[in-house]
């Protein structure tokens, strides 16, 4: 398929590489020039990238970025034509997504929100899991692209429902990790070896995919970004906004958001979100470090 891919960050770059590998005709665009994908064309702006494309796939930071690349100066909007599909793998506001979809529908363009999970590794080896909102028939047409980038597609409902699902998923990741981080901090302060605590967690019902994935990094105190804190913070804010719009109270998430706020004030926004542990450590006057390490 002819695909315009907009946004070559950690996730987008790997996804575009996999589309090229699967034989699709890809043209890429990134806000900051200099990023490229071997075998893909490069466009100077979103409008040029979208010219003649069957599918426009986006993977950028936030709601404002999606709005800008679609509807801003040199935005893709001016190159949209009847029958095209827009797919968005950025994590953004569900209500804004519905609004963007309405704006392009007038031109006969379908809109699918397709945020994903699987982290940097899943993007690199094409094993992402997509949670998707949109018409079934449109999603079916995108299947060759989903298969190139991921291993599973869950249709969650109409456009906007993919984003709503993603917020509910990341809310859990943030809170499960915070629970793990608080447990590590308390246990270490009380004289327990964190490595032993992790072994126990893994052998019991307390285990989770989040802990399994994050524990090795945390025990090595490796906070290089797999999923940058600034992006998890954005998702927490999006979840709180969506909750407010729907008149839902999320008190635990509100508290976790304050921790991210403080971590950002400490300059940790570009580290992995696991770095929120270091704040708990600071308040407790303890360092989570294994004696056996
Ligand atoms: P990264 O690695 O931070 O990449 C973000 C990308 O978004 C990158 O290509 C940015 O371009 C682009 N970006 C950011 N702001 C804008 C604006 N205003 N206009 C156009 N392009 C922009 O994020 P990930 O790849 O890890 O994640 C992407 C999304 O998936 C995000 O929503 C996650 O929550 C999930 P740059 O190179 O900085 O010019």
Q: What is the pLDDT of residue 209?
A: 95
Q: Are strands 150-157 and 25-29 parallel, antiparallel or unpaired?
A: unpaired
Q: What is the pLDDT of residue 55?
A: 98
Mutate to test the pocket of ligand 1, among 5, 8, 9 (most ligand atoms within 8 A of CB): 9
Looking at the predicted structure, is the pLDDT value of residue 247 above 80? yes
Distance of CA 254 from the midpoint of ligand 1 (Å): 25
The CATH code belonging to domain 164-284 is: 1.10.1040.10
* pTM summary value: 0.94
Distance of CA 236 from the midpoint of ligand 1 (Å): 17
Looking at the predicted structure, is the pLDDT value of residue 68 above 80? yes
Comparing CA positions, the residue from 226, 228, 230 lying closest to residue 214 is: 226
Q: What is the pLDDT of residue 292?
A: 66
The CATH code belonging to domain 2-159 is: 3.40.50.720
Domain boundaries, the chain: 2-159, 164-284
For ligand 1, atom 30, the nearest C-alpha belongs to 90
68 CA: nearest ligand 1 atom? 19
Average pLDDT over residues 31-58: 97
Phi-psi region of 250 (alpha: psi -120 to 50; beta: other; left: phi over 0): beta
Beta carbons within 8 Å of 185's beta carbon, 6+ residues apart: 277, 280, 281, 284, 286, 288
Q: What is the pLDDT of residue 291?
A: 73
Which tens digits make up the pLDDT trace of 118-169? 988 999 999 999 999 999 999 999 999 999 999 999 999 999 999 999 999 9
Q: What is the pLDDT of residue 230?
A: 97
């Amino acid at each position: 398929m002819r695909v315009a891919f907009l946004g070559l960050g950690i996730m987008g770059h790997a996804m575009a590489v996999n589309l090229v590998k699967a034989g699709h005709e890809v043209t890429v665009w990134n806000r900051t020039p200099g990023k490229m994908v071997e075998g893909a064309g490069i466009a100077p702006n979103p409008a040029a990238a979208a010219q003649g494309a069957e599918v426009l796939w986006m993977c950028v930071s936030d709601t404002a970025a999606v709005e800008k690349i679609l509807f801003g100066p040199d935005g893709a909007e001016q190159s949209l034509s009847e029958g095209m599909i827009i797919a968005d793998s950025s994590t953004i506001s569900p209500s804004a997504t519905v609004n963007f979809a309405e704006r392009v529908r007038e031109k006969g363009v379908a809109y699918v929100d397709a945020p994903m999970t699987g982290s940097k590794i899943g993007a690199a080896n094409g094993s992402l899991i997509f949670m998707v909102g949109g018409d079934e028939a449109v999603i079916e047409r995108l299947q060759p692209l989903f298969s190139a980038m991921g291993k599973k597609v869950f249709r969650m409902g109409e456009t906007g429902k993919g984003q709503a699902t993603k917020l509910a998923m990341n809310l859990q990741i943030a809170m499960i990790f915070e629970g793990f981080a608080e447990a590590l901090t308390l246990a270490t302060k009380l004289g327990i070896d964190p490595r032993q605590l992790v072994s126990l967690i893994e052998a019991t019902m307390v285990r989770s995919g989040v802990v399994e994935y994050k524990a090795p990094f945390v025990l090595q105190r490796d906070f290089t970004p797999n999923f940058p804190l600034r992006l998890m913070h954005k998702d927490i804010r999006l979840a709180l906004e969506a909750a407010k719009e729907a008149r839902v109270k999320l008190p635990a998430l509100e508290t976790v958001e304050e921790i991210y706020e403080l971590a950002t004030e400490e300059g940790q926004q570009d580290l992995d979100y696991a770095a929120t542990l270091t704040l708990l450590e600071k308040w407790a006057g303890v360092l989570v470090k294994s004696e056996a390490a």
